[in-house]
A and B are shown apart, each in its own frame.
Chain A
Amino acid sequence: MLRSILERFKPGKGAVISVPYLWLLVFFLVPFLIVLKISFADQDLAIPPFTHLLKYDGDMSTLNIALNLSNFLFIFTNELYLDTYVSSLEVALFTTLACLLIGYPIAYAIARANPAIRNVLLMLVMLPFWTSFLLRVYAWMGLLQPNGIINNLLMSMGLISQPLEMFHNQFSLYLVMVYAYLPFMILPLYAHLVKMDVTLLEAANDLGARPFKTFWTITLPLSKNGIIAGSMMVFIPAVGEFVIPELVGGPDVLMIGKVLWNEFFDNNNWPMASAVATIMVLFLIVPIALFHRYETRQLEGKNV
Chain B
Amino acid sequence: MYNGNPLPKTLKGVLLLGFLFLYVPIVSLIIYSFNASKLVTVWGGFSTRWYVSLIQNDQIISAVTLSIKIALASATAAVVLGTIAGFVLARFGRFRGSTLFAGMMTAPMVMPEVITGLSMLLLFISMQQFFGQPSERGFFTIWAGHTTLCMAYVAVVVRSRLIEIDKSLEEAAMDLGARPMKIFFLITLPLVSQAIASGFLLSITLSLDDLVTTSFLSGPGATTLPMVIFSKVRLGLNPEINALAAITVLLVGIFVLVANYLMLSAQRNRMRAMAAAMRENDAPAPPGNGAGGAVATAP
Contact = CB atoms under 8 A, between A and B. Distances in A.
Touch between chains A and B, by CB atoms below 8 Å: yes
Interface of A: 9, 12-13, 16-17, 19-21, 23-32, 34-35, 38, 48, 102, 105-106, 108-115, 118-121, 123-128, 130-136, 138-143, 145, 147-149, 152, 179, 182, 193-196, 198, 201-202, 232-233, 236-237, 239-243, 246-247, 257, 260-261, 264-265, 270, 273-274, 277, 280-281, 284, 287-289, 291-292, 295-296, 299-301
Nearest to B144: A27
Given A25-B104, A142-B29, A134 B211 contact: yes
B11 interface: yes
Interface in B108-127: 108-116, 118-120, 122-123, 125-126
B26 A139 contact: yes
A134 B40 CA distance: 17
B208 A121 contact: no
Contacts of B6: 114
A interface, by DSSP: helix, strand, loop or mixed? helix
B118 A35 contact: yes
Interface in B155-182: 155-156, 159-160, 163, 180-181
A109 B11 contact: yes
A149 B248 contact: no
B40 to A, nearest CB: 6
Contacts of A19: 81, 84
Given A34-B123, A138-B245, A142-B29, A23 B233 contact: no
Given A125-B22, A132-B248, A135-B248, A109 B3 contact: no
Contacts of A109: 7, 11-12, 14-15, 18
Contacts of B253: 127
B205 interface: yes
Q: A-B pairs with the 4 shortest C-beta distances?
A: A240-B112, A31-B119, A139-B25, A20-B85
Interface of B: 1-3, 6-7, 11-12, 14-15, 18-19, 21-26, 28-29, 32, 39-42, 81-82, 84-85, 87-88, 92, 95, 97, 100-116, 118-120, 122-123, 125-126, 129, 144-145, 147-148, 151, 155-156, 159-160, 163, 180-181, 205, 208-209, 211-212, 215-216, 226, 229-230, 233-234, 236-237, 241-242, 244-245, 248-249, 252-253, 256-257, 260, 264
A3 B155 CA distance: 31
B95 A239 contact: no
Given A109-B12, A145-B237, A277-B114, A131 B26 contact: yes
5 contacts: A102-B21, A127-B252, A288-B107, A288-B111, A292-B103
A241 B120 CA distance: 18
A126, A264, A287 — most chain B CB neighbours (10 Å): A264
Given A108-B14, A147-B39, 7 more contacts: A16-B84, A28-B104, A130-B256, A138-B29, A240-B113, A288-B111, A299-B159
